Amino acid sequence: MGFRKDIILRLFSLFNFLKRRAYAAISKEIVGSPTILQATIFEGNGKISFGNNVILGYYPSPKFYEGAMYIEAREASAVIAVGDCTIINNNCTIVADKSSITIGKNCLIGANVEILDSDFHSLSGDRKSSDYECWPVVIGDNVFVGNNVKILKGSKIGHNSVVGNGSLVTKAFPENVILAGFPAKIIRSL
C-alpha cells in the first residue's frame, strides 16, 4: 500500500505542478524566454526581462512540486531585469513595486529568497496610503545568495559576493565579500 500511496501522491503533485506551470504563460510585459522548471506566476504592469539561459526553479530541490515562484513588476514604472545564465531556485519572491530590481549575470539565487524594493505601506500615518518610498535593489554579477535570504529596498550586493543562508540584506555591500547575519554584515573578503 505504501508504494501505491507514493505513486498517487507523486501524480497529484505532478498534476498540480503542470496546472500552475500553465498559469505561468499568462504574463504581462516579459522580454526574453527563461527556462521555467517550477510553477511561476508573473504579475504587474511593469517590465520583466530575462537574459539568455536563465532558469527559474530547480530540480531536485525542496518545494519543487508544491511551491511556486512569484515575480511581480507592480506599477508601470517598475522593472525587473535578470542577467544571462542566472539560476533562481524554488519558491522565490521578487517584487519591484515602483522602482527596479536588477540581478546580474551568472548568479545563483537560493530557495525561498525574497527580493523587495519596498515596504509596501507607509511607516507613519495612514498605513493603507500609497505614499511610501521604493528604492532600487542591485545584485551584481556572479553573486551567490543562499536559501531563505531577504534582500530589502536600497540593497546593493557587489560582484562575486556570497550571501549566507537566512541573512537579511538592508544596505550596500562591496564586491568580493561574504556577508551573513540578521542584519547582514561582512564576514570576510574573498
Q: Could you give all domains of the chain from N- to C-terminal order, each with its CATH number?
A: 2-189 (2.160.10.10)
pLDDT tens-place string over residues 100-128: 999 999 999 999 999 999 988 767 766 66
Q: Which residues contact 5 (CB under 8 A, 6 or more apart)?
A: none
Q: Indicate the pLDDT class of residue 79, thresholds 50, 70 and 90.
A: very high
Instruction: Give the count of beta carbons closer than 10 Å to the beta carbon of residue 127.
Output: 10
pLDDT tens-place string over residues 134-185: 999 999 999 999 999 999 999 999 999 999 999 999 999 999 999 999 999 9
Q: Which position among 6, 7, 18, 121 bears the catalytic label?
A: 121
| Residue 174 to residue 186: CA distance in whole angstroms | 9
- Strand 108-109 to 29-31 pairing: unpaired
Instruction: Give the count of beta carbons closer than 10 Å to the beta carbon of residue 170.
Output: 14
- How high is the pLDDT of residue 26? 46
Q: Indicate the pLDDT class of residue 8, thresholds 50, 70 and 90.
A: low
- How high is the pLDDT of residue 133? 86
Instruction: Give the count of beta carbons closer than 10 Å to the beta carbon of residue 47.
Output: 18
Residue 18 has pLDDT above 80, yes or no: no
| Residue 90 to residue 92: CA distance in whole angstroms | 6
Q: Indicate the pLDDT class of residue 60, thresholds 50, 70 and 90.
A: confident
pLDDT tens-place string over residues 22-56: 445 444 688 898 999 988 889 999 999 999 999 99
Establish whether 159 is a catalytic residue: no
